[in-house]
Amino acid sequence: MQDLIQKLEAYKQEITNFSGTGEQAAEAFRIQWLGTKGRVKEVMGEMKHVPVEQKKEAGQLLNEFKLFTEARYAQLKEAAAAGAGAGGHAVPDLTLPGDAIPLGSRHPISLMRHKIISIFQRLGFAVAEGPEIEDDWHNFTALNMPEHHPARDMQDTFYVDAGENAAVDWLLRTHTSNTQIREMEKGKLPIRVICPGRVYRNETISARSHCFFHQVEGLYIDENVSFADLKQTLYFFVREMYGKDVRVRFRPSYFPFTEPSAEMDVSCFICGGKGCNICKKTGWVEILGCGMVHPNVLQNCGIDPEKYTGFAFGMGVERPAMLKYGINDIRLFSENDVRFLKQFTAAT
Ligand code: 2NL
C-alpha cells in the first residue's frame, strides 16, 4: 500500500512537469498515461495485490489519480487548441504587432483657449492665472462695482459660506478680472497679461448656458496706451483667429470697469454676412467686450491714472468653440463623454 502511494505521488509529479506543447504532445500524453497500455491502466492493475482491508482506500486513491490525469490531459488539449503552451501559459507570438497605447485627446475648450492665448503671446502678452475662490474686493469692489451693484446679487453670484467670523465675503469669481487686479496690485509696470480661466455664474443650466464656463481676459497698462492701441491689438487678434477677410465693427457699450467701453462684432464667419441662424440674420457675431481701464480701477490698485492708462478686454471660450466645432449643447463640454471628447484634434 505504501509503495502504491509513493508511486502515485511520483507519477503525479511527472504529470505536472510534463512540458510538451501542441496537439502531438497532448496525444503522446494520452497514449502514455490514459491509453489501453498506459500507466493509469497499469496502476489500476495493482489493485489485485492490495490486501482486502485496504482495497477501499486504495480504490479511492486510484480513482483520484485517474481524475487528476484526465484533468491534465484536458488542460493540454485546450492549451494546444488555443495555440498555447504547457500549463496553460500563453506563448507570445513575437511577430504580432504590439498593443496600441490609446492616446488621449485635447478638450475642445483647451484647444480654443490655447488658440486665443497663443495669438496674444505673439504680441508679447504673458499668461497669468488666479484663484477661482475670491474675495469681494478682487472680484467686485476694485473693479468699480460698488456695494449695491446688481451683479453682486445672490441671484447671479455664488457666495461661499466662510463662517460667521469671516471678515470679508468670499465667492466663486464671476470673471477672470480678479487675476488682472492682482497683477496690478503687484505694482510692477508696464503690465501686459492675458488671463484665462474658469468662472461661475448662478444661471439656469440649459443647452446655451451653464453655471460655469471659461473666459480669456486681457490687460495692457503703460504710459500713453490709447484706444487706437486697443483697436489694433484686437484687429490683429481677429485676423489671426477668423481670417483676413472678416470685417470688424465696434459698438459703444457699458462696463463699470472701463470707460469708454465697447463691444466688438465680426462679420458672420458662418454665412459671410448674408444672414443666418448663428448671426440671427444680422450678418454680425459679437465676440468680445473691451474698453479703456476706468481711472477708479487703476487708483484702487495703487496705479496713478494721471501717469498710466490701459485697455482691457474679455471674451468667452465656449461660444467660439461651439461655433468652430459645430457643437449645439454647452453641457457636452462638462459631461466627460469620451465619445464626444475623442473627436477633437489639435489641428486647427
Ligand atoms: C465681456 C466683457 C470685459 C474687461 C472685461 C477688465 C479687467 C480689468 C479692468 C478693466 Cl482688471 N476691465 N476686463 C473689460 C471690458 C470687458 O469683458 O463680455 N466678457 C465676456
Burial class (CB in 10 A: 0-12, 13-18, 19+), 37: exposed
Pick the more confident residue, 173 or 85.
173
Pick the more confident residue, 313 or 273.
313
Mean pLDDT check: name the lowest of 113-117, 146-150, 306-310, 335-339: 146-150
The residue whose CA is least distant from atom 3 of ligand 1 is: 314
Determine the Cα–Cα distance for residues 300 and 145; give it in Å rounded to an integer. 11
Task: Write out pLDDT tens, residues 229-270.
Answer: 999 999 999 999 999 999 999 999 999 999 999 999 999 888
Four-point Cα dihedral 145, 146, 150, 156, nearest 10: 60
How confident is the model over 35-50, as a mean pLDDT?
91
Determine the Cα–Cα distance for residues 43 and 15; give it in Å rounded to an integer. 14
Q: Is the CB of 289 under 6 A from ligand 1?
A: yes
Determine the Cα–Cα distance for residues 253 and 290; give it in Å rounded to an integer. 9
Q: Is the CB of 177 under 6 A from ligand 1?
A: yes
Determine the Cα–Cα distance for residues 212 and 174; give it in Å rounded to an integer. 9
Spacing, Cα 125 to ligand 1 middle (Å): 16
Structural element, H or E, at residue 62: helix 55-81
pLDDT band of residue 155 (cuts 50, 70, 90) is confident
Task: Write out pLDDT tens, residues 184-201.
Answer: 999 999 999 999 999 999
Task: Using the Cα atoms of residue 316, residue 317, residue 318 and residue 320 in order, give the sign of their dihedral.
Answer: positive
Determine the Cα–Cα distance for residues 28 and 65; give it in Å rounded to an integer. 18
Spacing, Cα 186 to ligand 1 middle (Å): 19
pLDDT band of residue 84 (cuts 50, 70, 90) is low
C-alpha cell at position 245: 477677410
pLDDT band of residue 90 (cuts 50, 70, 90) is low
Single-letter code of the amino acid located at 104 = G
Question: Is pLDDT above 70 for 139?
Answer: yes
Asked whether the beta carbons of 237 and 257 are under 8 A apart, the reply is no
Q: Is the CB of 217 under 6 A from ligand 1?
A: yes
Q: Is the CB of 317 under 6 A from ligand 1?
A: no
What confidence score (pLDDT) does residue 346 get? Answer: 59
Name 160's bridge partners.
Answer: 170
Q: Which domains does the chain have, with CATH numbers?
A: 2-81 (no CATH), 108-344 (3.30.930.10)
Pick the more confident residue, 274 or 187.
187
Q: What is the DSSP string of 243-274?
A: -TT--EEEEEEEETTEEEEEEEEEE-TTTTTS
Please indicate, yes or no, whether the overall pTM of this predicted structure exceeds 0.75: no
How confident is the model over 321-345, as a mean pLDDT?
91
What confidence score (pLDDT) does residue 220 get? Answer: 98
Question: Is pLDDT above 80 for 174?
Answer: yes
Q: Is the CB of 303 under 6 A from ligand 1?
A: no
Spacing, Cα 204 to ligand 1 middle (Å): 23
Pick the more confident residue, 334 or 78.
334
Spacing, Cα 189 to ligand 1 middle (Å): 19
Quote the Cα angle for 127-106-199, to 5°.
Answer: 50
What confidence score (pLDDT) does residue 86 get? Answer: 47
Binding residues for Mg(2+): 259
Determine the Cα–Cα distance for residues 69 and 14; give it in Å rounded to an integer. 10
**Pairing between strand 133-135 and 170-172?**
antiparallel
Unique residue bearing C-alpha cell 474698453? 291
How confident is the model over 318-332, as a mean pLDDT?
92
